[in-house]
Homo-oligomer: A and B are copies of this chain.
Amino acid sequence: VVSKRTEDRQPLSTAAIVAVARRHLVDHGAAGLSLRAVARDLGVVSSAVYRYVATRDELLTLLIAEGYDALGAAVEAGQGEGPPRARFAGACRAIRAWALKNPHEYALLFGSPVPGYRAPEATTNAAARVPAVLAAIVRDAGGREGKGGEPQAAAAAAALAPAAAFIGGGQHPTRVLEAVIVWAAIFGTVSFEVFGRFDDSVATAPDARATFFDACVDRWADHLGLPPG
């Protein structure tokens, strides 16, 4: 007797396993992700999964890499092809939209690190896609007139040498500082929204949230010295 499940089942594959695992993140978070539960959902005995995935941590790694790639692709597409300020706004909105659509995957990427888990190099390339988009925008925006904060930026220039190298093009220290600040601010703001920390300070209606975020984007663009329009 062959069970119905077996007849209907798609052939197992790493991709199918990762897809189901992604759905499981929703209910239990990264720490509660279970190979057995994933196998159960696939209609397969738990040991079958081991033909495709060596270990629970490897599955986590696949999920993380897939997440960074999905976010990176969304942001690359979302920036469009206009002047720097428009590209910046598009990129920011793409980050937010992806995070709101995939809150649990976002939490996996940008929430607390999973204890005992160390990300292998495979994921760090994918993780750099969003910073690369932001860096290109800063690079393309060209020179920045002084707007204050120069002494502090000069003091922090040594600390920010890796960031300056990543952005490239020999940016002014204030610009590098402001770029790193804005980068952290974007993800801080999106994390606050996704994790519910704005619920007592920003109206919860979706369009109120969008309006607020757009205002943030505009201020960040000002802080970055992106030319208007």
Contacts and interface: CB of A to CB of B under 8 A. Distances in A.
A105 B8 CA distance: 47
A160 B212 contact: yes
Contacts of A110: 195, 197
A201 to B, nearest CB: 4
A146 interface: no
A72 B179 CA distance: 29
Interface stretch (A41-49, A54-62, A79-87, A217-225): A217-225
A201 B180 contact: yes
A152 B201 contact: no
Interface in A189-221: 189, 191-192, 195-198, 200-203, 205, 208-209, 211-212, 214-216, 218-220
A16 B52 CA distance: 45
A162 B112 contact: no
B200 A189 contact: no
Contact of A149 (B180, B188, B222): B222
A181 B216 contact: yes
Interface of A: 27-32, 107-108, 110-116, 124, 128, 131, 148-149, 152-153, 155-156, 158-163, 166, 177-178, 180-181, 184-189, 191-192, 195-198, 200-203, 205, 208-209, 211-212, 214-216, 218-220, 222-223
